[in-house]
Amino acid sequence: MYIEQIYTNCLAQASYYIESDGVAAIVDPMRDIDVYLELAKKRNSLIKYVLNTHFHADFVSGHLDLASKTDAIIVFGPNAQPKYRAYIAEDNESILLGSIKIKILHTPGHTVESTCFLVLDENNSPTALFSGDTLFIGDVGRPDLMSGNLSKETLGAMLYDSLNDKIKKLPDAVVVYPGHGAGSACGKNLGKETSSTIGEQKKYNYAMKEMSKDEFIKIVTDDQPPVPAYFFKDAMININGYQNLDEVYKKSLTALSCDEVKKELLKGTMVLDTRSSSKFSLGFIPGAVNVDLDGQFAIWVGTLISIEQSLLIVADKGREKEAITRLARIGFENVVGYLNVEMDQWTYETDFIKTMNPDEVDFELVNLSSTLLDVRRVGEVEKEKMKESYHIPLHELNNRMKELDKNKKVVVYCAGGYRSMIAASILKRNGFKNVININGGINLIKNVHPELVEIY
């Protein structure tokens, strides 16, 4: 038996390759499927099954393309109703994969069709649990995403039963392979680890502690992060089907001249600049939003930009296809093309954002004449913050921008600089003329000016 995790940092998402005796199954594949095809080829195996733990809301799954190219059987658990051909397994049913079995454990709660896949080794012993969004490391899947006609409390009760009646009864040594890690909006307290064991989760996962059903429902439904707007659309795409990724490339991987880009801007197309914040700050197309590819690119694009918005890509040379692929993973397919020259060859007006290191900022003057804007999450601010700073989490900025004075300078910081440049670009796009981004964020500020940071 061979198991390999394929982890996509951009989405904090894990898919899996399971193999026995030259036969393989893929769990929760990403939309760009080459990694699975190449792995099967390298290991001289045949992909027989594509196992889906549920209808994902945070990304478009690659199950249809993978099944099309390999003749693999698409498998869902009970209550799934896809609009395409798939095998709907029964609870406790086992699928043979070489000399091992994969047992279907229906675990509703995150969604009504949520299912875990339990691997039974050659000796029929429970070995590994592919838990999808039912059980994370340090958390469980939130019950308020795709509830349909059911309340989050009803789904929370289902999740409680799934954990207590099925998951907790597994041997402590069973390895847990979750669907997501830290950074995903599918839970609120996901750990950085990408695997664990049932025994460890019983000890350290708050949701696996002994408690009443009412206590569980309250704790699991409280303080969940906001749901990105694209989640519902992605879930529907995964239920109804989607166009082949090759078709997306044909439409979107189009090189555009400066003149053609200018025409697109007049149509209302948004420029998504995927370069590093340092490059972006030195010169960008006015109105562009900066989300660096080298970070949680897809999560922030999906959180801050409408899935219906037409986009035009600015990227470092050779990374255009990567940007389009990562957008397609979350169902963003309205890309009209990309700028075919470097920004220093852009022939029209260019905008800039001033960037300063903490030792260059006169924070006393900032507090008197400017707005010091903190765009980190609530939990981060509750631990430490700059004195006199104003807090708007990045995911709320579009809706709360009216709280800021456009006539005042806005000095933006986050933890390290990634999110603050996204925020700075959004402010610029919305008419804020004087915006400064602080390099290194509060992590560097507290080293240079510890007296200006309040720690709780």
Catalytic residues: 414
Report yes or no: 129 and 162 within 8 Å, Cβ to Cβ: no
Report the C-alpha gap between 330 and 229 in whole angstroms. Answer: 11
Half-sphere exposure of 17 (CA within 13 A, CB side): 23
Report the C-alpha gap between 326 and 142 in whole angstroms. Answer: 24
Report yes or no: 143 and 109 within 8 Å, Cβ to Cβ: yes
Helix axes 418-429, 297-304, angle to 10 degrees: 30
Give the 3-state DSSP-derived string for the chain, with helices as H, strands as E and coil as C: CEEEEEEEHHHCEEEEEEEECCEEEEECCECCCHHHHHHHHHCCCEEEEEECCCCCCCCCECHHHHHHHHCCEEEECCCCCCCCCCEECCCCCEEEECCEEEEEEECCCCCCCCEEEEEECCCCCEEEEEEECCECCCCECCCCCCCCCCCHHHHHHHHHHHHHHHHCCCCCCCEEEECECCCCCCCCCCCCCCCEEHHHHHHHCHHHCCCCHHHHHHHHHCCCCCCCCCHHHHHHHHHHCCCCHHHHHHHHCCEECHHHHHHHHHCCCEEEECCCHHHHHHCECCCCEECCCCCCHHHHHHHHCCCCCCEEEECCCCCHHHHHHHHHCCCCCCEEEEECCCHHHCCCCCECCEEECHHHCCHHHHHHHEEEEECCCHHHHCCEEECCCEECCHHHHHHHHHHCCCCCEEEEECCCCHHHHHHHHHHHHCCCCCEEEECCHHHHHHHHCHHHEEEC
Report the C-alpha gap between 234 and 237 in whole angstroms. Answer: 5
Half-sphere exposure of 85 (CA within 13 A, CB side): 6
